[in-house]
C-alpha cells in the first residue's frame, strides 16, 4: 500500500517525456523543425496525439524540453573533458571539445542539425532566445574557468585578453558545430579537422608553449 505515491501510475512520465523528445529530435534531424508537429512526433514515438498533448501541454513546451534535453546530452559528453589541475591542458581540452562536436557519426550530425534548427528559432522567438542565453551563460562560465587557468599556466598566446578569448571560444564552438550543417553528405571531415587544429594553434599560439603536463 502506498509504496510510492510520487511515482506516476502506469509508466514513468519523465521517461516518456524523454522518449517523446528523442522522437522530436529524430524528426528535426531528418526534416528540420518544419517537419515537427504534434502528430508526426506522436507517430514517431509510437504514441497517440492525446498522449503527447497530455505530457506537454503545448507544442512550445515540447520544443523547449527537447532543446534542453538535446543540449544536456552534449554537455554530458563535455563533462568528461576536464581542463585544469589534475586534468587536461587547455590546448588538449579545447581540441577535444571542438573535435567532439564534429559530425563523426549520425548522432552528432543529428545533434548539429537540431542545434541549427533551434538556433534559427531562437532568432525570432524570445522564449527560445532566453533558453539559449541561459545555456550560453553556463558555457561562458565553464570557458572562463578554463581560460583563466590556461592564462595562469602561460598556455595562451601572448597579448590575449582572457574575456575576449572566452567570447571567441563561444563563437568557435558555434561555428565548428554548425559547420556540420554545410558539409556535403559524402565529404570527408578533413577540412573540419583542419579548422579545429588551426583554431587550437591560433588560440594557444602554436604548438605547446606554457607548462606541459602528463
Kindly tell me which of 92 and 125 has the beta carbon lying closer to a copy of itself.
Answer: 125
Kindly tell me which of 33 and 97 has the beta carbon lying closer to DNA.
Answer: 33
Among DNA, a copy of itself, none, partner that 38 touches (CB below 5 to 8 angstroms by kind): DNA
Among a copy of itself, DNA, none, partner that 60 touches (CB below 5 to 8 angstroms by kind): DNA
Residue span 141-160 as binding mask against a copy of itself, x where in contact by CB under 8 A, dash where not: ----------------xxxx
CB 181, CB 112: distance < 8 Å: yes
Instruction: Specify the 3-state DSSP secondary structure of 83.
Output: strand
> CA 48, CA 53: separation in Å to the nearest integer?
9
CB 20, CB 52: distance < 8 Å: yes
What's the first-to-final CA gap in the chain, in angstroms? 56
Residue span 19-58 as binding mask against a copy of itself, x where in contact by CB under 8 A, dash where not: ----------xxxxxxx-----------------------
> CA 196, CA 155: separation in Å to the nearest integer?
17
CB 62, CB 14: distance < 8 Å: no
**Smallest distance from DNA to CB 11, Å:** 6
**Smallest distance from DNA to CB 43, Å:** 9
Instruction: Specify the 3-state DSSP secondary structure of 58.
Output: coil
User: Beta strands of 140-203 (E only): which ranges?
Assistant: none
**Cell numbers found for residue 169:** 571560444
Among a copy of itself, DNA, none, partner that 134 touches (CB below 5 to 8 angstroms by kind): none
Interacting residues with a copy of itself (CB under 8 A):
29-35, 112-113, 116-117, 119-126, 129, 132-133, 136, 157-161, 163-165, 167-168, 170-176, 178-179, 181-182, 184-185, 191-192, 194-195, 197-199, 201-203, 205-207
Amino acid at each position: 500500500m502506498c509504496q510510492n505515491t510520487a511515482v506516476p501510475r502506469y509508466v514513468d512520465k519523465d521517461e516518456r517525456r524523454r522518449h517523446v523528445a528523442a522522437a522530436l529530435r529524430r524528426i528535426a534531424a531528418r526534416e528540420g523543425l518544419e517537419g515537427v508537429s504534434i502528430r508526426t512526433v506522436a507517430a514517431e514515438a509510437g504514441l497517440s496525439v492525446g498522449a503527447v498533448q497530455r505530457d506537454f501541454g503545448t507544442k512550445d513546451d515540447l520544443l523547449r524540453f527537447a532543446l534542453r534535453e538535446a543540449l544536456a546530452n552534449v554537455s554530458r559528453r563535455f563533462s568528461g573533458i576536464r581542463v585544469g589541475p589534475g586534468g587536461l591542458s587547455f590546448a588538449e581540452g579545447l581540441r577535444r571539445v571542438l573535435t567532439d562536436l564534429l559530425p563523426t557519426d549520425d548522432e552528432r550530425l543529428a545533434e548539429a542539425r537540431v542545434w541549427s534548427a533551434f538556433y534559427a528559432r531562437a532568432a525570432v522567438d524570445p522564449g527560445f532566445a532566453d533558453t539559449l542565453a541561459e545555456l550560453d551563460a553556463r558555457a561562458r562560465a565553464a570557458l572562463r574557468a578554463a581560460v583563466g587557468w590556461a592564462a595562469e599556466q602561460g598556455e595562451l598566446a601572448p597579448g590575449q585578453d582572457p574575456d575576449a578569448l572566452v567570447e571567441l571560444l563561444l563563437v568557435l564552438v558555434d561555428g565548428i558545430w554548425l559547420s556540420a550543417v554545410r558539409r556535403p553528405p559524402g565529404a570527408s571531415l578533413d577540412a573540419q579537422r583542419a579548422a579545429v587544429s588551426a583554431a587550437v594553434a591560433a588560440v594557444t599560439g602554436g604548438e605547446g608553449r606554457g607548462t606541459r603536463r602528463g
